Amino acid sequence: MTRRAEIWLSFFTRNLHIISKRRSRMSSFDFEDKLFSLSANGKLAELKALTSLSKTNINAANPNGWTALMYAARNGHADVVKLLVENGAEKDKTNSLGQTALDIAAFWSQHPVIAALTPPLADKREPLHFFTVRNLNRASEMRKDSKLLAEMLSSSSDARIVVFVKNFPLLSTNGKRYTLKMFKYSDLKDLINLEKLEVIFLGIQRRGDEVSHSGSPLFAANISHDKLELLLTSFSNENLQALEKLRDAFILDAEQASLAGLAHSLFDWHSRHEYCPTCAHKTDFSEAGYKRKCTNESCLASREVKNTSYPRLDPTIIVAVMSSDRTQLLLARGRKFLPKMWSCLAGFMEPGESIEDACRREVFEESGITIGHVGYHSSQPWPFPTQLMIGLVGQATTQTITVDKSELDEARWFSRAEVIKMTMRKHPEGFFIPPHQAIAHHLIKAFLHDSASKI
């Protein structure tokens, strides 16, 4: 090795040692403080150097839940936002007020940041709405094979049964967290005669994104209150309790709530269709819970496809109505709403209507506002008992409100600033919007993003 090479190697080793010492001396608190400061002030070059040392704390948050990405979004540093996202910053994280970085950028009208945080149309995914069944292969081709399903229920070690009491799920709790109680067949066979119950096959629980039959088969059984007492006694150490109304399912996580909603909708339908709506004869449980078959062989429902034989699904529109200049949002208070809660207008579709026409009719009937352009946002299953909420954004062509008091308590226009305060629960009149589990929440957020970016 030449003298020159020895000098260079010595210099490099010494400086590497210094860098290593500096990095080891930098506590996680110092790193986060520096990360927040550089992001807030748009120091791109210094931030690149800092993130090259570590990316593990890129999503660190201060006591108010603010992340580096939020600071950069607040101050309009689109280049910093892109760098943070490339290094693993999570765009969906929320602060203590429930705001994402995109919400903050929308509040402060940081248009370049909004563009940076909004994916191209081709990359956009629909929202993962509460009550939407995601991790389940419904395996509909297995529903007609009652022998296979009976064997799967009684013999598969992975099979699980969700128990309902008069259409409402049985939960287990440790005092802090509630979960759907999943029983094995062996847990129930000596307490409940499952062969005499109408047991619904929900499907195969997926493992990740795979669609296969290798997961856990899920079933649901509806029992009477006297059988509930047997279960409560036999599983007294698990603190079991039955929900009294499905809206209490919000205490579950999204995946379990979706299963509860699916089974509840089916059980509710079965309880209302014990007799054929076509001819009034008795109907039989069929196809693992997804059909009821009329016992009258001469009934039209036995010889033709009738919607009375299959579970009902009621399409319902729900719409965020923007003013013609896109700066105000029309919200209303229903007669059964929580005090001070405001939401979007909604209503059932009628036969012969398109989605767009149903939107225009419902908004006009309830508020006297006429709608021009109607755009689709997303949809949400709403198991109360079985609705499909079709989320829309409509642009008003009129401004004067005439409230239908038989439908609503009141309706009014809200400025963007007021809506933001409502989402933060800081409105001077105490007004607020529905929680994130409801599609209305996301439609209102869509208005905030739209009005800020003029999209």
pTM comes to 0.78
What pLDDT score does 3 carry? 56
What crossing angle do the helices spanning 44-53 and 28-41 adopt, rounded to 10°? 150
What pLDDT score does 247 carry? 80
Domains 13-123 and 314-453 in one fold: no
How far CA 196 is from CA of 184, 189, 199, in Å, comes to: 17, 11, 9
Sorted by sequence, the CB contacts under 8 Å of residue 272 that are 6+ apart come out as none
337 alpha-carbon distance from chain centroid: 20
* Span 91-102, average pLDDT: 85
Rounded distance, CA 319 to CA 394, Å?
6
Split at pLDDT 50, 70, 90, the class of 142 is: very high
Write out the two tokens for 138. Answer: 């419904």
435 alpha-carbon distance from chain centroid: 10
Of 414, 415, 433, the closest CA to residue 423 belongs to 433
* Span 193-198, average pLDDT: 92
Render pLDDT for 251-307 as a digit per residue (tens, 0 to 9).
Answer: 999 999 999 999 999 999 999 999 999 999 999 999 999 999 999 989 987 777 777
Query: What's the fold here for domain 13-123?
Result: 1.25.40
Render pLDDT for 332-379 as a digit per residue (tens, 0 to 9).
Answer: 999 999 999 999 999 999 999 999 999 999 999 999 999 999 999 999
Rounded distance, CA 435 to CA 130, Å?
11
Of the two residues 312 and 185, the one the predictor is more confident about is 185
Q: Which of 401-405, 415-419, 451-455 has the lowest mean pLDDT?
A: 451-455
CATH number assigned to the domain covering 314-453: 3.90.79.10
Percent of the chain with pLDDT over 90: 67
Q: Indicate if the pLDDT at residue 322 is higher than 60.
A: yes
Domain locations along the chain: 13-123, 136-272, 314-453
Task: Specify the CATH architecture of the domain 136-272.
Answer: Alpha-Beta Complex (3.90)
Render pLDDT for 49-79 as a digit per residue (tens, 0 to 9).
Answer: 888 877 778 999 999 999 999 999 999 999 9
